[in-house]
Amino acid sequence: MAITLKSAAEIDKMRIAGRLAADVLKMIEPHIVPGVTTDRLDEICHDYMVNVQQTIPAPLNYRGFPKSICTSVNHQVCHGIPSSKVLKNGDMINIDITVIKDEYHGDTSRMFVVGKPKIQAQRLAQVAYDCMKIGIEMIKPGVALGDIGFAIQTYAEKNRCSIVREYCGHGIGKGFHEDPQVLHYGKAGTGVVLEPGMTFTIEPMVNLGKRHVKLLPDDWTVVTKDRSLSAQWEHTNLVTDYGFEILTEHPDWPL
């Protein structure tokens, strides 16, 4: 599959989808409190997307995924399925939102801490955020994806954290997961060279312990093998003529 360069009209639609995805994260924030279940968070997001935004929750029925959002708690790395699991004080949770509006996808996730944050959780969430930020700020025409992966990996490892290798960022547009694959590790000077009009996510998964992961029997939930905490942030980005535009930025949460 080839990398598609988006036209001005397509970019306009992706800006709208991106902002709507960010709005769901903003909307759900006050509901993330001790005692709430991840099923309830899914239900609130689903209703908001379908009834208020009139967007389609992209995860629902995607390759058999049963819910409208992903909720990954503590040592869960990604693709956690909302359930009757009750959030407790000190938990950390990634909520990953993907909406479809007018045929185009917006994909974004971020960490939230439930109640009072623990020092280690806070540190990991910050390292993962900085990894995403370092990657995004490198985006401009002529930069290779390997340069970005290398910078992200170097920063994570300097901070005694590790980067998950089995999952990566991705091109996005009419498709949820388009080419190219955006690795969060790698070798400088290798891989796809960025051009204006490309749209892709950067979504590093960063572990406090070792990088290895395993898939739970539900066939979706990815967890760290050593049960160490894991954190992830994600934005959908556009390569512009001279740099980048974050399509899923919320004005209350600038990069």
Which residues are near Co ion by CB under 5 A? 96, 107, 109, 201, 234
3-class state of residue 253 by DSSP? strand
Q: What is the nearest approach in angstroms of Co ion to the Cβ of residue 243?
A: 21
Which residues, 6 or more positions from 132, have their beta carbon under 8 angstroms from its beta carbon?
152, 202, 203, 204, 233, 234, 235
Which residues, 6 or more positions from 153, have their beta carbon under 8 angstroms from its beta carbon?
163, 184, 185, 186
Give the binding range for ligand MF3 (CB under 6 A) out of 22-30, 56-64, 110-118, 238-246.
Answer: 56-64
Q: What is the nearest approach in angstroms of ligand MF3 to the Cβ of residue 44?
A: 17
Nearer to ligand MF3, 188 or 255 (CB): 255
Nearer to Co ion, 35 or 175 (CB): 175
Which residues, 6 or more positions from 171, have their beta carbon under 8 angstroms from its beta carbon?
3, 4, 177, 178, 179, 180, 182, 198, 199, 200
Nearer to ligand MF3, 65 or 123 (CB): 65
Under the binding rule (CB under 6 A), the answer on residue 65 touching ligand MF3 is yes
The length of the chain in residues reads 255
Nearer to ligand MF3, 54 or 61 (CB): 61
Binding map of ligand MF3 across residues 217-236, x = CB under 6 A, - = no contact: ---x-------------x--
DSSP state letter for 130: H
